[in-house]
A and B are shown apart, each in its own frame.
Chain A
Amino acid sequence: MSTEPDPTSNDIAISLTDVWVQYQLRHAHHYNFKRTLTNVLTRKHHDAETITAIEEINLDIPRGTRLGLTGPNGSGKSTLLAVMAGTLTPSRGTVHTQGRILALLGGPNEGLDPEQTGRENSRSLGIRLGESRESMATKTDDIHDFSGLGRRFDHPVYTYSSGMQVRLRFATITSLHADVLLIDEGIGAADAEFNERAGQRLGTFYGNSGTLVLASHSEDLLSIHCSTVINLDDARLHRAEGFGGRQ
């Protein structure tokens, strides 16, 4: 390849170079007092098991890409999204990102306070993602409308079903300005009506040259929203040269 694109260039929304994530399995038996004591006394050294969650990922995602991630459970989809979102520092490798990245990660109620109402939760969520109190005040009506929660928007979240929690989180996150949106099977629990509107909203988002990374098992969802799908089979993704042509 003649020209090596700069991973920090404006056209690349996310650039991962040689990214590894390894962690140690600290299982219950590593904390067992009797075991620790016998290990110390017998001078045996048991290392905790090292797990490689993702291994040597090289990936340039140009702006405006609609990338799908799929793969069996435990293949590293969520880990890869966490690395892209910046909540997980990789064990090795570099991550370059351009623009504001918002992520819808974790289970349906991740980051929600059950005692607070939907309205308060969406405000807290926005503030935690860097919005000001004032800008959240202007967005609340939009979030309320889009979530379709109606009166329940002012009820405490512990009364919500998981589908309603998904609605709240999805509506909040997609109402904020983002250059890159990372979604981890986020829209699974909601009903068909909401999924359709969610799909339309995603359509508007990437229609305005937003970059979308969607992790899902649903081939339907991936084929609707994604122009490219990567299967993280066995947690190994090699340099994808369709993206920016790096070699």
Chain B
Amino acid sequence: MRIRYNKQINKPHKTQTPTRYAGNVRFWAYPVLITTKNTLTPRSNSQLNHLSLAPCIVASTQHEGGTIATKTYVEAPKGSIPDGIKDIKAGLGRRAIWWGLSWQSIKSRYRRTYLGPWWITVQQVIFVAGLSLLFGILLNQDLKTFVPYVAVGFIAFSWMTGMIGGGVTSITGNGAALKTAPGPLSIYSLSNFAGNTIQFAHDSVVIVVVLIIFQVSITWSILLVPVALALIAINGIAIGLWLGPLVARYRDVGQIVNSIVRVLFFFTPIFWVTTDVSNAQLAWLAGWNPIAYFLDFLRAPLLGQTPTTAVIIGSFVFTAANVLIALIHFSRTRDRLAYWL
């Protein structure tokens, strides 16, 4: 038997911040026993326990004409930065998710191919060869130094832009996972970093082979390579942390970022050299391009040179700014992401 108890006392305010609220009772239970508030009040706890054993729900009015002091937010309130840091720490601890599952998703992406993720590496080889040949001849460069320059530059550039492009979709592309599995939300940016880094690890075989074939001399500056890799990795994680939520809220940002990244290929010194006098204007433009800094920081030591002080300082300053933006934006939007998907 069902009884419907539908006694509307007063319509609640449907405004964003209800200050006064008159409660109304509008539910039924099944199987059901309804009592009103008045008959309920004198009951003892043991009677209530008994009632809940014999399946029932008791309805009563609340806040009858009372005042609600706390604010009702549209979507969730902004999160705090300590909570955001906790989330990132917890995310880093779930390596099985972001590292292990990224491996698996890379494998599944190339499931029905023979070469698997090495296909990208093959594409990189073909592209680097074509690019070096075209611009080596066009710009009259010495191929012995130009091919390693292009190879390192293009592969590192692909890694970085891969992380930016993946950062754009790191939240919108994981809507299903985000809505079904609770847990730290930083794992989506970490997965993006892991996926691109696994691909970069495959591609870096090309760098090693090219450096050996073209007999690039190794100097002490090679010790800077791990620093450069770490900086790029930190920036890759950070950019996903703020760009993913930003795109989830403002989808246009993704389109803007993607079109900028595409044209950055030409304005980053990959197939042209900043020290060339004829490139002075381009070099000045590259001074405003953060990717160019990290690229130089990684490429110079690999080619036996030392990066300039400007490059080193610029990379560290940009990293600090990027991490700060990531911490603030990720922490503030974390609780709202599920609303934006």
Contact = CB atoms under 8 A, between A and B. Distances in A.
Contacts of A129: 181, 183
Interface stretch (A103-111, A140-148, A189-197, A201-209): A103-111
Interface string B62-75: 11000000111111
A92 B72 contact: yes
Interface stretch (B105-113, B145-153, B305-313): B105-113
Contacts of B94: 130
A236 B45 contact: no
Interface string A230-247: 111110111111110101
B253 interface: no
B23 interface: yes
B218 interface: no
A38 interface: no
Of the four ranges (under 10, 10 to 19, 20 to 34, 35 or more), the interface on chain A belongs to 35 or more
Interface residues of B, number: 62
Nearest to A107: B176
A133 interface: yes
B339 interface: yes
A105 to B, nearest CB: 5
B76 interface: yes
B24 A236 contact: yes
Contacts, number: 169
A91 B179 contact: no
A128 B97 contact: yes
Given A22-B74, A113-B105, A229-B30, A85 B96 contact: no
B231 interface: no
Interface stretch (B53-61, B164-172, B238-246): B53-61
Contact of A58 (B62, B76, B182): B62
B334 to A, nearest CB: 8
B304 interface: no
Contact of A22 (B26, B48, B75): B75
Interface of B: 6, 12, 14, 16, 21, 23-31, 40-41, 45, 48-49, 51-52, 55-63, 70-77, 94, 96-97, 100-101, 104-105, 108-109, 111, 176-183, 251-252, 335-336, 338-339
19 contacts: A56-B63, A82-B179, A82-B338, A91-B73, A91-B75, A92-B73, A103-B180, A110-B179, A110-B180, A132-B96, A133-B100, A228-B55, A229-B31, A238-B59, A238-B62, A239-B62, A240-B58, A241-B58, A245-B48
Interface of A: 1-3, 18, 20, 22-24, 31, 50, 52, 55-56, 58, 62, 68, 70, 82, 85-92, 101, 103, 105-106, 110-111, 113, 115-116, 120, 124, 127-130, 132-133, 156, 219, 222, 226-234, 236-243, 245, 247
